[in-house]
Structure 1
Amino acid sequence: MANSEQVEEYIMTDAIGRKRRGKVNQLTKKVLIPLNYFISIIIIICFTSTCKNLVGTTQSIDLTESWDLEKVLKNPHKGWYHHYFDNGLWEYRTKSDSDLENFPGMNHLYLRLAWSYLEPQPGKFNWSVIDNIINKWTMKGYSISFCITAKETNMVYATPEWVKKAGAKGAYYDAWGVNAWEPDYGDPIFLAKLENFHKAFATRYAGKPWLEYITIGSYGDWGEGHTSFSSRRSFPVDVLKKHIDIYKKYYLKSTLVIADGWVNDRRDNNGSQLRDYILQNKITFRDDSVNVSYYVDTFPSTYSVQSPELFNEVFRHRPTILELQHYYLQKKDNDWIGVDGSIKGGELLKGAIDISHATFVGYHGYADEWLKENPTLARKLANKMGYWYFLKSVEIPSSLMRGSSHSFKLKWENHGVAPAYYRYKLKLALKGTNGTYTQYLTESNNKSWLPGTTVAETYSVNVPQTLAAGEYKVAIALVEERNKTKRLIELALKDELKGNNDFYEIGYINIE
């Protein structure tokens, strides 16, 4: 038996918890303790490595096979618009509500009306002319835009006659058999009455959640910034600035739009000066002459868009708008159907949308007729205009630990012609059998998803300690939350990916 100083008593616990007493040789102790320590370290390293591999493994998911290129997405702040009032109270009224409800990608009604319809007497307003339309269609989820004009070609007094009787200067000019009165757009009496009207109009309608934009329509024939069918004058830039200032004063939070004719129709070579003033005031442009014969013949290389450079100046920050020639005139002038039977006007329109980065487009006719004759074009262009979001791929961990933070990476593509002008919120959902955890991915900024680009965004996902272990579906939703309303932003993904609450389910993950 070894010497007492070479033997040391030890106590151990067996598998069922009973204590056993024994002795170990000092020499054995010197060997066993370092060996046990080494084995423990190895076990810890292996366990840590295994957990790290388990939790840290990234799965890459390619979603391009799940893209849907055909479905027309119903998204806000983009798409077709319908001229509900145009050249008077009778043009382009719908025959049935279904004319608009069945139109793919229909966004808003564009109410272009003469000032005299709304203020027939000084300070006496006839809002019912438009309120009946507004109330009906906004209840159905459609937006509204306005253009209030001071000169039309089919009525004598687009500016109310009482403004002339109050002393405002102007003159009569014949166009298509109508001797219409054109005001002197710089006359102080005219400008004072115009400002009083817009003060009242803005008090009633500016800032409404359904208002898409206001077109500055107080100068020129049909508000388009030219006097081609009246005096053929280019009123001084300083006069036009006064008109712009009225709108800027009263429509502080509204998107303001101006026709490119305000700049292009200058005969005094001051177009650049006016353009700069428009840009300084953060006003966007519209082209109201797409597919008009003169522009088709004169600007063939730019698809009848006279000044695409104006649209390039604004489209990154504000929506641009196109208005087509009246549909019946396009067909009459053979500018819609080509001699070979092709939809010539449709091809021009596609190019015009591309080159102007248009977010809103008006076909300028009766909805049922246009859709019946151009069903495929209506669907294709509805997605193309404005933003059109595709989720390309996802990189997410295979597993997550409760109480930890992890990075998710999503790649986005915008196949539309313009960015979005509102920031939408990206929401994550982990959906399991024991419940659902949701989190806003605050690093997301859809306004930076420019057309024709792939954008990779990385988000920090925080897994709560209380989340039960198990397998979870990973789902996302892009939503607009403004004006106390919430709207889903549809993605170009197949419907089969949609789960409950309209989240798109894009993968699976384990919670450890």
Structure 2
Amino acid sequence: MKLLNPLAFFCVKNIGNVPPQIVEVMKQVLSFSIISSLAIILMSCQKDDLSTLNFKPISDISNQGLSVNSISDSSNVINVNPTENFGLLLNPGKGFVKYYDFDAQYASVFGTKYIRYDWADIQPKEGVYNWDWIDNEIAECRANGKKFAFGIMSANTNRSINTPDKGKYVTPKWVFDAGAAKRTINATYWETGQTVKQIIPIWTDAIFLTKLKNFITALGNRYNGNKDIAFIDVRSYGNWGEQHLYELGGTNLTSAQLKLQHLQVYKDAFPNTQLITPWGEHFYDDTYQWAVDNGIGMRSDGIFKYSNGSEVTRAHTKAPSIFEYTAAYGWLTSEGYWNPDTLLKYIEIGKPSYIQFDADMYNANTVLYTQVANRVGYHFVIKNVHVQKNIVNGQSFYIQTSILNKGVTNIYEDCYLALALINSNGEVVQKKFLTQSFPKNWKSDQLSTETNNIILTGLNQGTYTLALGMFSSMNDAEPKIAFANNSKTANNWFMITNQIQISLDN
């Protein structure tokens, strides 16, 4: 037996990732011509495993209106490099959070609305609930394509003067009437700055803890698993629910008490809703580590003056975290804390999925806000797709996707990558989930390349457009998560190529 001549062997070795067993066979083949030898090896690869071939772009071929950097058609393989869209991209599970009022002029910038409530407002009497306060916000957000988030406080030294009790109770009065131990502190009306006497609980009191647990359980019975809720804060301990006793005084809970009496109670009530715990004190760090290890996210409520975000870094790759500024943009600027480079630096440290929206900050820094919006959380860009051009009904074909996560952290919501074939009328005629793609494993600043083998059936012979989409649920009719690419359809599919040929048989 005689080896191929050196030139033929060099060509075979550099076709791509040709299976080594085929290369060994080629080494032993009698000296055919180079062209016939290459034909044999290509036919073998096409028959057995086309997915092992790595074809590189050979030209920039027009894709009839699709926005791509290049398309290469090498025999039966199409190689596409889609173009990136650098505009501000809204997606679930990340982005800017608008506090309290819903301002429609900024609807293209934020994806979540957030409110903090006082417990006394939501449950004014035992067994009586003002669920409308929350339900109405959820309805407004749903109508505008947004998610809602909230937290409910047991102490708040900036209670409103416009309450039935004139700001005296945050934990409801009926809890203390039932015998819960209490203290009296000085608080201030947020509207006027006037001092008011406020009643707060003794945090370890058994009656208080029982009534609190009953309330959290009722809250969970109503809102656990609600798809219109982005997250719920655990704000049942400390001033403003931030798990510290600033302006309150008294005795801090132990780390074990915070875990068992507050975080675990919420976790039991909300097994199917994303929970977020504020970071309060360093002596609770072991409980915060337990929290993120069990899927509870974190938030830092003092970015710029009190925090650089490092307290919530522990949540990275495990659960989402949230940045809230120390105060409004005007104050940050006047006090010398505001610096755009500092904000970007802190984002790299804390790796948040969400960040507070400030209208004045946005109006003064619109370019920065686009950068921030796309950097926080995940940000998926389709960089390359390899797919067979000629597909036969009922026969397996492969698609290889390379997707870059340009966000600062992972996606934490459920997500599923799917392929669609779209006919000449723009209709999705078949959808297949790519079960060997795992978006939750797409790490920050890394390119994830995955190969899926697919079988399509029941298609008419003809030419189709291939598209990719990201779903929050396999039961959704349309993709809910957008890629940062051009060529998006009205229903959130991203067109890759319109050169797919479907045949009925070989």
Q: Give SS of 1:489's match.
A: coil
Could you tell me how far apart the structure 1 residues matched to 2:44 and 2:290 are?
Answer: 60
The residue correspondences of 1:284-295 to structure 2 (distance < 5 A) are: 284-292=297-305, 295=306
CA contact (8 A) 1:152 1:180 kept: no
**C-alpha distance after superposition, 1:274-333 (max 9, x if no partner):** 3344345432211111023xx2xxxxxxxx326x2x534322121111111221432332
**Between 280-289 and 180-189, the greater mean CA deviation after superposition:** 280-289
Q: Over aligned residue pairs, what C-alpha RMSD do you find? A: 3.1
The residue correspondences of 1:273-288 to structure 2 (distance < 5 A) are: 273-279=286-292, 281-288=294-301
1:377 matched residue in structure 2: 368
- Relative to structure 1, the CA distance from residue 230 to residue 408 in structure 2 (aligned partners, 3 Å threshold; closer, same or farther) is same
**C-alpha distance after superposition, 1:472-509 (max 9, x if no partner):** 43322222236756443211112xx2357543232334
- Matched residue type, 1:335: Y
Q: Give SS of 2:86's match.
A: coil
1:313 matched residue in structure 2: 314
CA contact (8 A) 1:357 1:417 kept: yes
2:272 matched residue in structure 1: 253
Q: Give SS of 1:488's match.
A: coil
2:326 matched residue in structure 1: 325
**C-alpha distance after superposition, 1:455-483 (max 9, x if no partner):** 1100102244x645554433222222367
- Relative to structure 1, the CA distance from residue 188 to residue 281 in structure 2 (aligned partners, 3 Å threshold; closer, same or farther) is farther
**C-alpha distance after superposition, 1:178-221 (max 9, x if no partner):** 43333111101111111121122222222211111111101111
Q: Give SS of 2:319's match.
A: coil
Q: Give SS of 1:144's match.
A: strand
CA contact (8 A) 1:154 1:178 kept: no
1:490 matched residue in structure 2: 482
**Between 215-224 and 226-235, the greater mean CA deviation after superposition:** 226-235
1:187 matched residue in structure 2: 205
Could you tell me how far apart the structure 2 residues matched to 1:484 and 1:477 are?
Answer: 11
Q: Give SS of 1:131's match.
A: helix
**C-alpha distance after superposition, 1:16-54 (max 9, x if no partner):** xxxxxxxxxxxxxxxxxxxxxxxxxxxx99998897798
- Matched residue type, 2:278: A
**Between 48-57 and 61-70, the greater mean CA deviation after superposition:** 48-57
Q: Which 5+ residue runs of structure 1 have no aligned equivalent?
A: 1-43, 85-92, 296-303, 337-343
Query: Once the 2 structures are TM-superposed, how far is the Cα of residue 166 of structure 1 from its aligned partner?
Result: 2.4
Could you tell me how far apart the structure 2 residues matched to 1:506 and 1:184 are?
Answer: 61
Could you tell me how far apart the structure 1 residues matched to 2:37 and 2:368 are?
Answer: 63
Query: Once the 2 structures are TM-superposed, how far is the Cα of residue 355 of structure 1 from its aligned partner?
Result: 1.4
2:402 matched residue in structure 1: 411
- Relative to structure 1, the CA distance from residue 171 to residue 380 in structure 2 (aligned partners, 3 Å threshold; closer, same or farther) is same
1:98 aligns with 2:104: yes
Could you tell me how far apart the structure 2 residues matched to 1:190 and 1:118 are?
Answer: 16
1:224 aligns with 2:226: no
- Relative to structure 1, the CA distance from residue 400 to residue 201 in structure 2 (aligned partners, 3 Å threshold; closer, same or farther) is closer
**Between 325-334 and 443-452, the greater mean CA deviation after superposition:** 325-334
1:453 matched residue in structure 2: 446
Counterpart selection for 1:473 from 465, 471, 480:
465
Could you tell me how far apart the structure 2 residues matched to 1:203 and 1:231 are?
Answer: 33
CA contact (8 A) 2:82 2:383 kept: no
2:170 matched residue in structure 1: 158
1:136 matched residue in structure 2: 140
Query: Once the 2 structures are TM-superposed, how far is the Cα of residue 426 of structure 1 from its aligned partner?
Result: 2.3
1:424 aligns with 2:415: yes
CA contact (8 A) 2:423 2:464 kept: yes
Could you tell me how far apart the structure 1 residues matched to 2:54 and 2:490 are?
Answer: 26
2:356 matched residue in structure 1: 362
- Matched residue type, 2:446: T
TM-score (norm 2): 0.75
Could you tell me how far apart the structure 1 residues matched to 2:478 and 2:462 are?
Answer: 31
Counterpart selection for 2:255 from 206, 215, 237:
237
1:503 aligns with 2:493: yes
- Relative to structure 1, the CA distance from residue 146 to residue 52 in structure 2 (aligned partners, 3 Å threshold; closer, same or farther) is same
**C-alpha distance after superposition, 1:205-263 (max 9, x if no partner):** 222111111111011110001101111532233432212232122112221211111x4
Could you tell me how far apart the structure 2 residues matched to 1:53 and 1:483 are?
Answer: 37
1:122 matched residue in structure 2: 126
Give the total of aligned pairs.
425
The residue correspondences of 1:44-59 to structure 2 (distance < 5 A) are: 59=55
CA contact (8 A) 2:478 2:492 kept: no
2:114 matched residue in structure 1: 110
2:165 matched residue in structure 1: none
Could you tell me how far apart the structure 2 residues matched to 1:198 and 1:489 are?
Answer: 31
1:35 matched residue in structure 2: none
**C-alpha distance after superposition, 1:401-434 (max 9, x if no partner):** 4543222211111000111123423222344559
Could you tell me how far apart the structure 2 residues matched to 1:505 and 1:248 are?
Answer: 40
- Matched residue type, 2:445: G
TM-score (norm 1): 0.75
Counterpart selection for 2:215 from 178, 197, 204:
197
Could you tell me how far apart the structure 2 residues matched to 1:45 and 1:483 are?
Answer: 49
Could you tell me how far apart the structure 1 residues matched to 2:215 and 2:171 are?
Answer: 11
Could you tell me how far apart the structure 2 residues matched to 1:130 and 1:46 are?
Answer: 68
Query: Once the 2 structures are TM-superposed, how far is the Cα of residue 440 of structure 1 from its aligned partner?
Result: 2.5
- Matched residue type, 1:235: L
CA contact (8 A) 1:428 1:474 kept: yes
2:435 matched residue in structure 1: 442
| Greater Rg over alpha carbons, structure | 1
Query: Once the 2 structures are TM-superposed, how far is the Cα of residue 71 of structure 1 from its aligned partner?
Result: 1.5
**Between 64-73 and 143-152, the greater mean CA deviation after superposition:** 64-73
1:41 matched residue in structure 2: none
Could you tell me how far apart the structure 2 residues matched to 1:202 and 1:172 are?
Answer: 30
Q: Give SS of 1:203's match.
A: helix
Q: Give SS of 1:427's match.
A: strand
